[in-house]
Structure 1
Amino acid sequence: MSGSLNITAATVDPGLLDLPWALPLELWPEETIAALPKGISRHVVRFVNLSGYVVAIKETSAELAKREYDMLRTLQRLDIPCVDPVAVITNRTSATGEPLESVLVTRHLRFSLPYRAIYSQSLRPETATRLVDALAVLLVRLHVVGFFWGDVSLSNTLFRRDAGAFAAYLVDAETGQLYDGLSNGQRENDLEIARVNIAGELLDLQAGGRLDEDIDPVAISDGIVEKYRSLWKELTGTEVFDSSERWRINQRVERLNELGFDIEELAIRTDETGTQVRIQPKVVDAGHHSRRLLRLTGLDAQENQARRLLNDLDAYRLAFDKQDVDEEVVAHEWTARVFEPVIRAIPKELRGKLEPAEIFHQLLEHRWYLSQDSGRDVPLAEAMTSYIDTVLRHRRDEATIINPPTGTFTAPVDVLDDEDDWRSKV
């Protein structure tokens, strides 16, 4: 390692000093590389084990690395789903003194996958649509805070499973610019870039025989335009109604909450006669259900996962007639009696398959289907055994497990059976 090596980071991990910075990234030895699926990139990118976690290292120019590092940190402060910037390494030289490219180091997003790794043989139509929908939601969130991406694509995005859907995370902010607000022209430009890039990526899969024959790449890519515009209108559009229909204000708020957004402020204006009311959300923020779940239980989950877990919590509260009990008390009880026993019952070797919240969601889905097929209310313990043996064991890992929790625990069957009693009441 050259003595002139320069590391820029909020907190420097000493393990960074032990990596072979005197070698071009493409020549790094296999023992330093973490075997994780990669997306397509114009740069050389490698995943590397570092101090008990995995980082992605991208070679680029010093100027671009520093700019992207700063941009990712800014987006994090704005609560935008994106990868976590770790460091910028500059002044790299080889053993013979030749200059090497600078690098940007980001933390690998656990349980996330590039779009090419989400399918095994071919990308199905419903999966392609869900990926594009997730990217549309991410693009809306970026535009709300004034971020122009400039290179919107599936390749520059990571996806996490989210209760039957996907949550999208920005990976590459190299071309992005942050403004006080975006014009319609800037938003439409980003949207057209997304449409063209997605069509190209899906056509590439089609040429390789890895796209379901029922998929029309152009139609799927056009879908992001429709999804984006409908969501943007719901979030920012003005609504006019008669003053006697004031209930529509709450209805608008509830619709936004269902989409996963909170409203910090509403602009409400009446006309001169007082017969019409005009409302428009002034500031919107995503993560309504995730924040509620985190506040009540301490569980950090994706938005759809959080909605599903909260529904189960509400069903638990109803079954035990605890509507008058403090919500936080009931949430603590549900977490201890329902969620945690289920997660602890997962065999140690299978815990890297999916996030805990996704496992819980899938277990509830599996139990529902078992009950439908058998015509009876299947106990949760029975559903758990079936889910582990027939579903979870056959999934590929979606996380790199490093230093997993020690010890094993099998939830007592009677604990799970007790919970079945309340489920049968609702």
Structure 2
Amino acid sequence: AVKEIGETVAYNEYELLRALNRLGVPSVTPLAVINGRRDENGERLETVLVTQHLQYSMPYRVLFSRVLRGDTVQRLIDALVVLLVRLHVVGFYWGDVSLSNTLFRRDAETFSAYLVDAETGALHPRLTDGQRAYDLEIARVNIIGELMDLVAGEMLDESVDTVAVGTTLVERYEELWNALHDEESFGSAERWRVAARVERLNELGFDVGELEITTDIDGVTVHIQPKVVEAGHHSRRLLRLTGLDVQENQARRLLNDLDEYRAAADRQGEDEEFVAHDWLTEVFEPAVRSVPREMRRRLEEAQIYHELLDHRWLVSSGQKRDIPMSEAVKSYVRDVLAHRPDERALLAPVGDADAEG
């Protein structure tokens, strides 16, 4: 992608995007800043910032190429909440939070959000509560406005309460932020709650790098507070076990399938890495490779496998029998994937394609 922008701002945004990439926050990758350009008449042209295309990502308006339901809007908002929390955790103030400045990728039954525009951003050692609150208010106002525009353009069901969606964004942000940072107190006999807090954060997709644990002088009350949290718990575990580098909710779904495979094969007592290797070579790879190559590129492989699992379950339920994966693949390719656009470079609305999924 190429964006014309002032020279100073271009270099600043380039460095910010590089920093976010190093910190592992979902964002586009900057490639270059080009200045000194001139047009055919010798007139000076604006500096441009060049970023790498994010494969399988979509601007939000592509997803609204058909009239969408409120639950799809909520999935986009949930993805944006996770992104905003991750940015704030590393000390990044966005300054222009909006759907327009975000790209979305399918992530199992949800979406993952990626920052596209860091022009108004700033990276700090730590954000104040006031900075976070202001960023959140910008997000609320911008998103309400964007959704109102979609309703006016008949791209969003008019029954969707756009103001309520903005309020929900704030509420869900605060819930996730508090889950990651709130101090928790309990009796010294309830130390099992330390492990429960860590497990809860893992379920939310975060690893705990540092947990501060203090005990009152009387030894009766214990206080715990996460100090260092890092997103990507499930994706890191799947990468370690299988070498598959996928998004967080895709990883969660694949790990669940791996656990089911392990239980069905009665291999709970075996080394997890060995079982994961067999699942990869005997289950995941054969299923994905049985999809015709020209169609396999339309979605990420992990997304295809997730959708195959869903399709197999739906068909099995309808026919009241367990259908084999080979049969599910044929049905999925014929009835679902054949009607989907290639999302590797989907930059504009796709008409009758099923953008909602």
TM-score tier, shorter chain, comes to: over 0.9
Q: Which residue of 1 aligns with 2:42?
A: 97
When Rg is computed on C-alpha atoms for both structures, the one with the higher figure is: 1
Distance 1:62 1:89 in 2: 9
Kindly state the Cα deviation for residue 210 of structure 1 after the two structures are TM-superposed. 1.1
Structure 2 unaligned regions, length at least 5? 347-357
Shift of 1:324: 2.3
Deviations 1:272-301 (A, max 9, x none): 111111000000000000011111111111
Deviation, 1:351, is 1.9
Instruction: Tell me, in whole angstroms, the C-alpha distance in 2 between the residues paired with 1:113 and 1:96.
Output: 36
Distance in 1 (alpha carbons) for counterparts of 2:58 and 2:145: 19
Name the counterpart of 2:69: 124
Q: 1:360: which partner in 2?
A: 305
State whether residues 287 and 325 of structure 2, in contact with CA within 8 Å, keep that contact through their aligned partners in structure 1: no
Contact 1:289 1:307 in 2 (8 A): yes
User: Aligned letter for 2:115?
Assistant: L
What is the one-letter code of the residue matched to 1:200?
A: G
RMSD: 1.1
The amino acid of 2:219's aligned partner reads: G
Q: Is 1:350 the equivalent of 2:291?
A: no
Give the one of 315, 320, 324 matched to 2:260.
315
1:182-216: CA deviations, max 9, x gaps? 11110000000000000000001111111112211
Q: Which has the higher helix share?
A: 2
Matched, 1:159 2:117: no
Asked whether the 8 Å contact 1:297–1:332 carries over to 2, the reply is: yes
Query: Are the counterparts in 1 of residues 64 and 156 from structure 2 also a CA contact under 8 Å?
Result: no
* 1:30 counterpart residue number: none
Of 59, 76, 87, which aligns to 1:142? 87
- 1:222 and 1:58 mapped to 2: Cα distance? 32
Q: Tell whether 2:167 aligns with 1:192.
A: no
Match of 1:273 in 2: 218
Contact 1:352 1:400 survives alignment (8 Å): no
Indicate conservation of the 8 Å contact 2:2/2:51, yes or no.
yes
What is the rounded CA distance, in whole Å, between the counterparts of 2:208 and 2:64 in structure 1?
36
Residue equivalent to 2:352 = none
1:343 CA displacement: 1.2
1:247 is matched with: 192
1:386 to 307, 331, 334: 331
| Counterpart selection for 2:272 from 315, 318, 327 | 327
1-side partners of 2:177 and 2:309: how far apart?
A: 32
Corresponding residue number in structure 2 for 1:397:
342
Aligned position for 1:300: 245
Give the alignment's TM-score, normalised by structure 2: 0.95
The amino acid that maps onto 1:354 is: L
For the structure 1 residues 67 and 188, does the alpha-carbon distance in structure 2 shift closer, same or farther, using more than 3 Å as the test? Answer: same
1:348-377 residue CA offsets vs partner (Å, 9 max, x unmatched): 221232110011001101111112111111
Paired residue for 1:174? 119
1:224 aligns with 2:169: yes
The DSSP-based 3-state class of the residue aligned with 1:104 is strand
**Corresponding position of 2:355:** none
Q: If the length of structure 1 is used for normalisation, what is the TM-score?
A: 0.80
**TM superposition shift of 1:399:** 0.8
Matched length: 346
Q: Which amino acid aligns with 1:293?
A: L
**Aligned partners of 2:57 and 2:345 also within 8 Å:** no
Question: Secondary structure of 1:353's match?
Answer: coil
Aligned: 1:88 with 2:61: no
2:67 and 2:338 mapped to 1: Cα distance?
21
